[in-house]
Amino acid sequence: MNTWLKIASNSDFSIYNLPFGIFSTSKNKPKIGTRIGDFVIDLEQLRKLGLLQIPHNIFNQSSLNPFIGLGKKRTNNVRLQIQKWLCEDNSPLKKHFDHVFHKIENIKMHLPVKIGDYTDFYSSIEHATNAGKIFRPDNPLFPNWKHIPIAYHGRASSIVISGTPIHRPKGQFKPADASSPVFGPTKEMDFELEIGAIIGKNSSHGESINISESEDYVFGLVLFNDWSARDIQRWETLPLGPFLGKNFASSISPWVVTMESLSPFRVESPTQDPAPLPYLKVDGKRNFDINLEVKLGNNIISETNFKQMYWSIAQQISHHTINGCNLKIGDLLASGTISGSEPNSYGSMLELSWGGKNPIKLKNGETRTYLKDGDEVIISGFCKKNEIRVGFGEVSGRILPAIS
């Protein structure tokens, strides 16, 4: 598929992608756009020019929620129409180029959706096993882990757009050599490499979504960093699970990559043993081949892939709603930390430094067990198959000192 617009061959935002997001310029309030190469296409301008037949109150919005609510048929038609115009020599996009194209360096990105609820899963068997080995060497996986997709409900209000600085959280934790807990800024600041699924369809309260239909409820995927304070988390987790060690911040990438553009990268899921209960049984290709990378400053500290996740997005949704819990447009379901089987493929500092016992070495000669103030974490991801490349861009955040 050839386009008249010059796009770098290694661009995440190829003609095959065309994700959706919320952008603003110095002259305009936030509204909906799509990205191609190093340009953002203003969808509201295309509507005003009469090129897209979409209601007037849809594109001129500060979230994708109303647009997503039109349904996949209409949202994907917008994507396919723009894709077609980008390949036509007599394209109306060429004629109105100066009115509808913005250079990426001239715009600001915002949260892509209004997130009503956020659930964080724990779906990588490699990560769950590693975390278990660090704290429970003789019993790394809890008995229920291979039977149900484990998750907790997080804090939607503290999810921030990529590039937003993160203040080191304060809380209560118990040092290993102390007889009682202390209070202060976390000493074990961590990142978690994750993928987030944006819900694109409402379900009814009391309804259980059949696994054969579960992916119909996903509009697209984003990169996600679930920042964690491990010492606070460790002290508070029992008996009710994560709280202050998790809810202070999570970072999201700005562009939502649609499920349609990810379709060429479907792969088989890992074998599940024991076989899950019938409501969680899947067939077909339900995982996605997404290459993922984590950088700490200019140091690549992790390279892994989303395709090896034990519990798929389809299974997460089926389990999430089996009790009648309803989903709403804009809800975010995060995968949980994505880790591979090799030490350089672990998706958190907890694993990379093995609970702080094995510091990782950086190019400048420094070492890290957990993140220091000033550290910047950059997560990126892309899919590639033959000439087709579809990427997510990146999600980044820099650690600032705790607010006194």
Q: What is the secondary structure of 347-394 as a DSSP string?
A: SBHHHHTTTTTSPEE-TTS-EESSPPTT-EEEEEEEEEETTEEEEEEE
Give the residue carrying structure tokens 């756009």.
33
* CA quadruple 215, 216, 221, 225: dihedral sign: negative
392: nearest Cα among 225, 227, 269, 228: 225
- Residue 82 · residue 24 · CB < 8 Å: no
124: nearest Cα among 316, 256, 320, 262: 316
167 labelled catalytic: no
Give the residue carrying structure tokens 């894709």.
83
**What is the enclosing helix (H) or strand (E) of 126?**
helix 125-135
Whole-angstrom distance, CA of residue 354 vs CA of residue 104? 39
Q: What is the pLDDT of residue 138?
A: 86
Structure tokens at 381: 């991801």
Can you say whether residue 297 is alpha, beta or left, with left for phi > 0 and alpha for psi between -120 and 50 degrees?
Answer: left
- Residue 184 · residue 170 · CB < 8 Å: yes
pLDDT tens column, 38-64: 999 999 999 999 999 999 899 999 999
The superfamily CATH assigns to domain 118-400 is: Fumarylacetoacetase-like, C-terminal domain (3.90.850.10)
Structure tokens at 310: 């034990």
Q: Is the pLDDT of residue 401 over 90?
A: yes
Task: Kindly indicate the confidence band of residue 1, based on its pLDDT and cuts at 50, 70 and 90.
Answer: confident
Tell me whether strands 360-361 and 367-368 are parallel, antiparallel or unpaired. antiparallel
- What's the full length of the chain, in residues? 404
pLDDT tens column, 362-390: 999 999 999 999 999 999 999 999 999 99
SS3 59: coil
- Residue 13 · residue 382 · CB < 8 Å: no
The stretch 290-300 carries a mean pLDDT of 98
Burial of 179 (0-12, 13-18, 19+ CB in 10 A): exposed
Give the residue carrying structure tokens 């995440």.
12
136 vs 35, more confident: 35
Task: Kindly indicate the confidence band of residue 139, based on its pLDDT and cuts at 50, 70 and 90.
Answer: confident
Structure tokens at 401: 């000192």
Indicate the pTM of the whole model: 0.97
The superfamily CATH assigns to domain 20-110 is: Fumarylacetoacetase, N-terminal domain (2.30.30.230)
In whole numbers, what is the pLDDT of the chain averaged over residues?
97
| Max Cα-Cα span within the chain | 75
Q: Please name the residues in contact with 75: beta carbons below 8 A apart, sequence gap of 6 or more.
A: 20, 67, 68, 200, 219, 258
Q: Is the pLDDT of residue 291 over 90?
A: yes
Whole-angstrom distance, CA of residue 61 vs CA of residue 75? 15
Domain boundaries, given as residue ranges, for the chain? 20-110, 118-400
Q: What residues does 353 pair with on adjacent strands?
A: none
Q: What is the pLDDT of residue 169?
A: 98
Tell me whether strands 332-334 and 118-121 are parallel, antiparallel or unpaired. parallel
Structure tokens at 284: 């077909």
Q: Please name the residues in contact with 360: beta carbons below 8 A apart, sequence gap of 6 or more.
A: 301, 349, 352, 353, 367, 368, 369
Give the residue carrying structure tokens 């020599």.
89
Structure tokens at 276: 């899950």
Can you say whether residue 235 is alpha, beta or left, with left for phi > 0 and alpha for psi between -120 and 50 degrees?
Answer: alpha
Whole-angstrom distance, CA of residue 37 vs CA of residue 382? 14
Pick from 134-143, 286-295, 312-321: least confident: 134-143
Q: What is the pLDDT of residue 335?
A: 98
Whole-angstrom distance, CA of residue 61 vs CA of residue 58? 6
- Residue 64 · residue 113 · CB < 8 Å: yes
Name the active-site residue from 102, 127, 319, 320.
127
